[in-house]
Structure 1
Amino acid sequence: MRPKELQCVVTFQTTTEAMAFEETARKEGLKGRIIPLPRAIASGCGLVWREDPLGRVSIEKLLKEHHLRYDSIYELVI
C-alpha cells in the first residue's frame, strides 16, 4: 500500500469534464493522473485529477487559460 501524503485534487461535475481536463493536462505536461473520488470529499463525478500540491498553480492556470469546467480544488492527505 502506498503511504498517504498531501495531494492536490480537482473534482468535476461530469465524467466529460474530467476527461477534457485530463486530455489538456497531458498536452500541457502535468504529471498527475485521474483517480477515483476519495471518500473524504463529495462531487457529482466519481473521478478526480490528483497532482502534487506544488502543481496547484499550474492546475489553476490551466483551468483558466483553457476555460475548463471543474467543481472544486482540494488539498488533502490521500
Structure 2
Amino acid sequence: MRKKKPYQILTFHTTSAAMAMELYCKEHGISGRLIPVPRELSAGCGLAWRIEPEEYARYKDDLLDTSVEIEQNVELMI
C-alpha cells in the first residue's frame, strides 16, 4: 500500500475553472496535476488541482490572484 503524504488540494465550481488552473500552472512553471476530487471533499465539478505543500507555499499568492475561482483550498493526506 502506498504511504499517504500531504498535498494542497484546490477544488473548483466548474470543469472549465479546473482546466484554466491547469493551463495557468503549466504556463507559469508551477508543478501539480488535475486529479479526481478526493472522497473527503465535495466540489461543484469532479476535478481538483493537487500541488505539493512546498510548491503551494512558494506560489500561493500567484495562485490565489488568478481569475480562476477556487471553491475550496485545503491540505489533505492522500
TM-score (norm 1): 0.89
| Superposed structure 1 runs of 4+ greater than 6 Å apart | none
Aligned residue number for residue 71 of structure 1: 71
Whole-Å Cα distance in 2 between the matches of residues 56 and 20 of structure 1?
17
Structure 2: tracts of 5 or more residues without a match: none
Aligned residue number for residue 7 of structure 2: 7
Aligned residue number for residue 48 of structure 2: 48
- Opposite residue 28 of structure 2, the aligned amino acid is E
> Match of 1:71, SS?
strand
User: What RMSD, in angstroms, separates the aligned Cα atoms of the two structures?
Assistant: 1.3
**Per the alignment, do residues 60 and 11 of structure 1 end up closer, same or farther by CA in structure 2, a change over 3 Å counting?**
farther
Identity %: 39
Displacement, 1:62? 2.4
Whole-Å Cα distance in 2 between the matches of residues 33 and 55 of structure 1?
12
TM-score (norm 2): 0.89
Displacement, 1:28? 0.7
**Per the alignment, do residues 60 and 2 of structure 1 end up closer, same or farther by CA in structure 2, a change over 3 Å counting?**
farther
Displacement, 1:30? 1.0
Whole-Å Cα distance in 2 between the matches of residues 41 and 22 of structure 1?
19
Displacement, 1:3? 2.1
Structure with greater strand percent: 2
